[in-house]
Amino acid sequence: MILGLATDQLLELLWVMGIFSILSLSLNLVVGQAGLFQLGHVGFFAIGGIMTVYGTHADHLGLDLLAGILLGMAVSALCAVVIGLPTLRLRGDYFAIATLGFAIIVRVILEGYYIQGVYNIPPLNPFGHPIPFQTTVIGVTVGWRVIELLFVLGLLAVVYLFLVRLDRAPFGRALRAIREDEVAAQALGKNVMAFKLKAFVVSAMLAALAGSLYVHHLRVFDPSAYDFNLTILILVMVILGGLGSHQGAVLGAVLVTILNEVAKQLSGGVGHDIDAAALNNLLYSGLLVLLMVVRPQGILGDRDLRLMDRLFGRFRRRPGEDG
C-alpha cells in the first residue's frame, strides 16, 4: 500500500504511464524535434486501437495480438501518408488546424460505426496461450498484470531507444535544422517534405502502437474517449517535460498520470462534490501557466540529460546540439 493505493491500482498507474510515455515520445518526434504543431495525434492513437480490434476480435479477422498491432501500425502509417502529403506543405497554424480536423473526422467516423463501443477485445497477452482472467485468486490476477506491465514497459524501452538513436544521428540533426529554418534547410539540399513526412509517419505508427496496447488492456473500445481533451493531454505531457527531450516526454507522461490520480483521489470518486475532470483541467491549466512563467522551455528543455555519459566519464555531444 502506497499513498492508499492497492497493488492493483499501482500496477494500473504504472501501466498508464507506460502507454502515455509511448504516446508522448511519439508526439515529441513531430512537435518537439521537427517543430510541426500536430494536433491530430489522438487520431492515430484511435486508428491503432480500432484496427487492432478489427484484426484480433473474434467477430472480425481473429488474428494474433502481434498481427493486430502491426495492422494498426500499418493502417496508421498509410493514413499518415495520405494526411501528411497535402497538410505538411501548410505552414504552422494551418497544419495544426488541418491535423485537428483529421482527429475529429476519425472520432466522428468511429462514433458512427461503434457508438456503443466494442467489447470482448482479446487481452494484451503477448504469449498467445489462454490466461485465466476472471479468476478471483488475487495472486494469479496480479501475476498476469505484472507480465502485461513488463510487456508494455519493454516496448516503451524499445521505442525510447529507437527515437534516441534517430535523434542522435544526422537524421535528428536534419529534423532540428528544418525546425529552425525550413528555407535554409532547402537551400542546403535537404528534401524538407521527405523529412517531415518520415517523422510524421513514424510518429503515427508509434501512436498506433500505443493505441493497440491501450485497447487490449482495457478490452473495451470507446470512440468518445478519443476527443480533443486527450489531444491536449498528450500535448501537455510533451510541453511539460520539454519539447524535443525524450526524457522530458516520459517525465511529462509520468507527471500527468500522477496529476490525474491526485485529482481523482482529491475529488473522492464518483458522486462527490468535486468533479475530477474539472479538477484535472484546473490543475493542468494552472501547471501550464506556471510553466510558461517559470520555465517556458519545459522541465528538461529540448535536450536529454546524458546520465550514462556522465557515469562513464564519456563526453559525446550529439549532432545538432549546441555547446
Task: Kindly provide the residue ranges of all beta strands, DSSP E only, lying in the chain, ordered along the sequence.
Answer: none
In the structure grid, which three cell numbers stand for residue 53, read together?
480490434
> Nearest approach, Cβ of 153 to another protein (angstroms)?
21
Closest CA to 208 of 2, 10, 52: 52
> Nearest approach, Cβ of 267 to another protein (angstroms)?
41
> Nearest approach, Cβ of 168 to another protein (angstroms)?
8
Q: Which of 180, 265, 278, 286 touches another protein (CB under 8 A)?
A: 180
Closest CA to 207 of 83, 64, 297, 88: 83
Contact 59, 122 (CB under 8 A): no
- d(CA 267, CA 293) in angstroms, rounded, equals 28
Footprint of another protein on 282-321 (CB under 8 A) = 302, 319-321
Q: Cell 513526412, residue?
A: 197
Q: Please, which residue, 161 or 277, has the CB nearer to another protein?
A: 161
Query: How many residues contact another protein, by CB under 8 A?
Result: 31
Binding mask 49-88 for another protein (x = CB under 8 A): ----------------------------------------
CA 263, distance to chain mean position in Å, is: 21
Footprint of another protein on 185-204 (CB under 8 A) = 185-192, 198, 202
Contact 208, 76 (CB under 8 A): yes
Asked whether position 92 contacts another protein by CB under 8 A, the answer is no
Q: Please, which residue, 93 or 322, has the CB nearer to another protein?
A: 322
> Nearest approach, Cβ of 128 to another protein (angstroms)?
28
DSSP letters of 81-135? HHHHHHHTTS-HHHHHHHHHHHHHHHHHHHHHH-TT-B--PPP--TT-S----S-
- d(CA 294, CA 303) in angstroms, rounded, equals 18
> Nearest approach, Cβ of 163 to another protein (angstroms)?
11
> Nearest approach, Cβ of 262 to another protein (angstroms)?
35
Q: Which of 132, 133, 158, 165 touches another protein (CB under 8 A)?
A: 165
Q: Which of 18, 40, 48, 172 touches another protein (CB under 8 A)?
A: 172
- d(CA 62, CA 46) in angstroms, rounded, equals 19
Asked whether position 37 contacts another protein by CB under 8 A, the answer is no
Q: Please, which residue, 60 or 317, has the CB nearer to another protein?
A: 317
Neighbours of 62 (CB within 10 A): 12
Residues paired with residue 5 on neighbouring β-strands, in sequence order: 2
Q: Please, which residue, 164 or 230, has the CB nearer to another protein?
A: 164
Q: Which of 105, 169, 220, 305 touches another protein (CB under 8 A)?
A: 169
Neighbours of 241 (CB within 10 A): 29
Q: Please, which residue, 222 or 321, has the CB nearer to another protein?
A: 321
Q: Please, which residue, 188 or 220, has the CB nearer to another protein?
A: 188
Neighbours of 133 (CB within 10 A): 11
List of residues contacting another protein (CB under 8 A):
162, 165-166, 169-174, 176-177, 180-181, 183-192, 198, 202, 302, 319-323
